[in-house]
Copies of this chain bind each other. A is one copy, B any other.
């Protein structure tokens, strides 16, 4: 990758991190995502599973739906999804159906990430980049779960 591409990836991942912070403020698992098409953000989303009482309301799922709405078509060709944490099997399945061109994620999820559970869910042509601003993305998750543990009564 060129220096400009790396700079762009970090810049867009910062926007995904901002989304993750919105989730954190709502006491949601802090994961955020943006979809970029032609160097422009066309969708932003953050995890809302608690707020909406809906296990399907992951950041990626909402971002996919919103991006398709903007594009007027269900395939996310020439789009990149930036997401702070490695997608789960559900989101990887949805990304597979969308035929998205590129996925950039920050922190790996060694327990529930798609690469451990369902590595074949993505479209074979989709490019994956991992580890972009990994430390910041992971730190948000660690802080969130630590604060949850600290709040337990016993």
Q: Name A residues whose Cβ lies closer than 8 Å to a Cβ of B.
A: 49-50, 53-56, 61, 64-65, 68-69, 72-75, 88-94, 96-98, 117-118, 120-121
A121, B89: Cβ atoms under 8 Å?
yes
A50 to chain B, nearest CB (A): 8
Copies in the complex: 2
- Indicate if the CB atoms of A73 and B93 lie closer than 8 Å: no
The answer to whether residues A117 and B120 also contact, given A73-B53, A94-B56 and a CB cut-off of 8 A, is: yes
A26 CB, min distance to chain B CBs, angstroms? 15
Complex partner residue of A90 from B55, B75, B97, B117, CB under 8 angstroms? B97
Residue of A54, A72, A91, A96 ringed by the most chain B CB atoms within 10 A: A54
**In the complex, A92 Cα to B118 Cα: how many Å?**
11
A65 close to B73 (CB less than 8 A): no
| Supplied contacts A55-B68, A88-B97, A118-B120, 17 more A-B pairs, CB within 8 Å | A49-B74, A49-B97, A53-B69, A53-B72, A53-B74, A54-B64, A55-B64, A55-B74, A55-B94, A56-B61, A56-B64, A56-B94, A89-B89, A89-B90, A89-B93, A89-B96, A90-B94
